[in-house]
Chains A and B, each alone.
Chain A
Amino acid sequence: MTMVEFREVSKKFGKVEALKNISFTIPEKTVTAFLGPNGAGKTTSMKLVMGFLKPTKGVVFVWGEEPWRSEGVRSRIGYLPERPVYPMDIAVENFLNHLAKLKRLSKIDVNRVIRLVGLENLADRKIGTLSRGYIQRVGIAQSLLGDPELLILDEPTANLDPSARREIIELLKTLHKELKVSMIISSHIIPELQEIANYAVIINSGIALEYGYLNDLWRKYEIEAIFIIKTVDVEAAARILIDKSYVHYVKKVSNSLEVSIDPEHYKSFENLLTELSGLIKSYTFKTASLGDLYEKVVKSGSQESV
């Protein structure tokens, strides 16, 4: 079922056209990577989904309703804004308690999200005294209040140092795994969404270049997935892996194996590696195929426009 639909949507701010007649859909139960460079129109699109902006032309539907008309749609969405806009003079707990009261939630719900994002020891601290990484956790905590069906996260890792970025991505992965919540995550740092997204919308200069399930897009744009695998027995592991129909090649690189697979079988390959835990010491995903995909889509998009 379609969760979000943009139907020939344009949005102008004065003379600047942020979105140019874009159309795309996002199905339910997906983690959508909303990709595009700075200024592509990602934040504008997210604000349109939240009903904070009114389309200049076209219609935005969220679960079949127009969010700028039906403000009730927002009760089903958790939203993390791009900029840290939280009141800095309030304690984390008090701020979350207020937002919870608006949604008729109890303190138990607040304590649960505080625990979920790892802010238990900082709940009584004023937001302004926290580091950027923890302020971002406050943002994620508030977006999780009331168990939303959809999380909209606008640049959740922006302005964070690499370790804080890593922590946030791990947190999102955990949330998706535990809460099974749909997510739309925008980022201009593409590889970090690789690990979590299964759907993508790629926009550039206010135009939707491509959208769809990653498996389909990888196939369409012929993107391959490459794993680097460290093993206790290179030869034995190579023999097992090459037998799989979706493996393109297995290459020995010093004491490791470089394995190229059909990206559609990413999950089953990971499961196989887990099964072979006695043989496999560790593995890493080498190719940022989402990045490759993005580049190919943007390239083909610019060729089409020429």
Chain B
Amino acid sequence: MDLRKVFEHTTYAVNRRLLAYTITIIVMSIITSLMLLFPGYGTPIDVWISGQLTIVSIIFKILIALQISRIAREITSGEIQLYLAHTLTRSEYVLSMLLASWFTPTLILVSSYIVTFTIAAPNLVISGELLKPLIHLVPDLLFIASITLFFASRGREGIATTIGAALPILLPLSLSIAFSGYMNTSHPVYTQIFYVFTIVLGLMTPYTYNLLYVNYQNISYPLQGNLSKLANPTLNTLASLALSIAIITLTFVLFKKKDL
């Protein structure tokens, strides 16, 4: 794989596509920075702040999904043939599109975290405490990117767009319901069902899983569910990361054989 070509095509794709979303990205980065100022200056992350940050992450996920789903249009229209005809390999093409559509927005979001915290609480940045949400946020964005990439690379723009736009909203919502159901139900069958859903959905949105886990950890009144039976957020995030990498690998393998 020629990384220089990957870089060239990534830059080209970012310039062409992502610049159209510049205003959205700037606004979202400002909101992120403002929300992060509170914990940066010592205020604990409450529901309101985490809600705002979740909304920003959802918007970023939708943005990423919409960008990636456009690969399908390049495949069906035949535009991809132009790039492949100029020596870009199939793997280089997919990687550059992933970098342009997932890595660049993620880098911008991560930068807003780092810059804000560096200004507000450099000592907490050094200790790594305030950057913990990023450990869960980046794999969360990657999962949406990988699943959208899979369908987009099959040339299924409709499915890729629908899934890519729906999952960022549905996953946190469903996980909240499942998590809450697990923690507040005593019926063994329902508990089992909610448990399975929590585990499965947790893999798909590790950022939300972490938020819910931490929130339930801090609840002082007695709950029906046993939090310790659920996966630790870091373990869940690692599993989610592994799942995303598996999906991306499968995408690369299948795309190598795809008729264009």
> Could you tell me which A residues sit within 8 Å of B by CB distance?
13, 47, 50, 52-54, 71-72, 74-75, 77-79, 81-83, 85-87, 89-90, 98-99, 101-103, 142-143, 145-146
Contacts and interface: CB of A to CB of B under 8 A. Distances in A.
Contacts of A78: 85
B259 A98 contact: no
Instruction: Give the interface SS of chain B, mostly helix, strand, loop or mixed.
Output: helix
B82 A99 contact: yes
A50 B78 CA distance: 13
B232 interface: no
A303 to B, nearest CB: 34
B156 to A, nearest CB: 16
Given A52-B84, A145-B86, A102 B78 contact: no
A52 B81 contact: yes
B229 interface: no
12 contacts: A47-B260, A54-B259, A74-B84, A77-B85, A79-B85, A81-B78, A81-B82, A82-B78, A85-B79, A98-B8, A99-B82, A103-B86
Given A47-B260, A98-B12, A103 B81 contact: no
A72 B85 CA distance: 10
A99 B259 contact: no
Contacts of B83: 99, 102
Nearest to B85: A79
Chain B interface bracket (under 10, 10 to 19, 20 to 34, 35 or more): 20 to 34
The 4 closest A-B pairs by CB, nearest first: A79-B85, A85-B78, A52-B260, A102-B86
Contacts of B87: 71-72, 74-75, 102-103
B214 to A, nearest CB: 44
A91 to B, nearest CB: 11
Nearest to A52: B260
Contacts of A71: 84, 87, 89-90
Given A98-B12, A101-B8, A102-B88, A54 B81 contact: no
Contacts of A87: 16, 79
